Amino acid sequence: MTGDNGATSENLPGSGHEHGHRHPNQPDLEDGPLGYYPAMADAVAELLIEKGVFGADDLRATIDYMASRTPALGARLVARAWRDPDFKRALVADSRAAAETLDIDTGPTPLLVMENTAHVHNVIVCTLCSCYPVFLLGKSPDWYKSRNYRSRVVREPRAVLAEFGTHIAPEREVRVHDSTADMRYMVLPMRPGGTDGWSEEALAALITRDALVGVCEVTR
């Protein structure tokens, strides 16, 4: 195997093979100084545990639960909505109640599902920070949190979408949703043609995170 620096497996650190000179250790996360906010986060967590508000195992389990959330959850809701018009109406009207029928937790914050149609294409942003439907899509991608995306998608959404390879016909309205306060958003993309009779699982496999944020459409 050849790494980026041309090293072979014989001279990688830790290979146990002595060859007369040393290689630097791989840097650890803790090598740099602890920043103000990481120090504050650690201190608050330690205080809450010390005061018995919750245990270290509760904190670990919560992080584990959040890390288990993936776009497959959002995709399942959309695939069901494509196959079941009643479910689609319920999902748009009250996403929490509709998702509960599939045992999917939409989280503590109200979640609004915005349906794409032949007339409207929806796209999600949080210009103030990085609000994101974590319970249905998991951790947000770095570009979603970037100043570039956040500042430009509200001002020139069609140019930003084009950079993602998405070209919305001029007769369709592009509607940007800025998650500035107490709502979270997920896009309900349009079902691609040629998928009549497809199973929910086959449909769900087509649905990507980016389509649920609205920076692309779903294709076969």
Active site positions, annotated: 126, 129-131
Task: Characterize the bridge pairing of strands 111-115 and 173-178.
Answer: unpaired
183 binds other proteins (CB under 8 A): yes
* Closest distance of CB 154 from other proteins, Å: 6
User: Binding residue for other proteins (CB under 8 A) from 155, 167, 205, 219?
Assistant: 155
97 binds other proteins (CB under 8 A): no
User: Binding residue for other proteins (CB under 8 A) from 30, 64, 181, 193?
Assistant: 181
User: Binding residue for other proteins (CB under 8 A) from 83, 174, 192, 200?
Assistant: 174
Over the window 20 to 59, marking each residue x when it contacts other proteins by CB under 8 A and - when it does not, the resulting string is: ----------------------------------------
83 binds other proteins (CB under 8 A): no
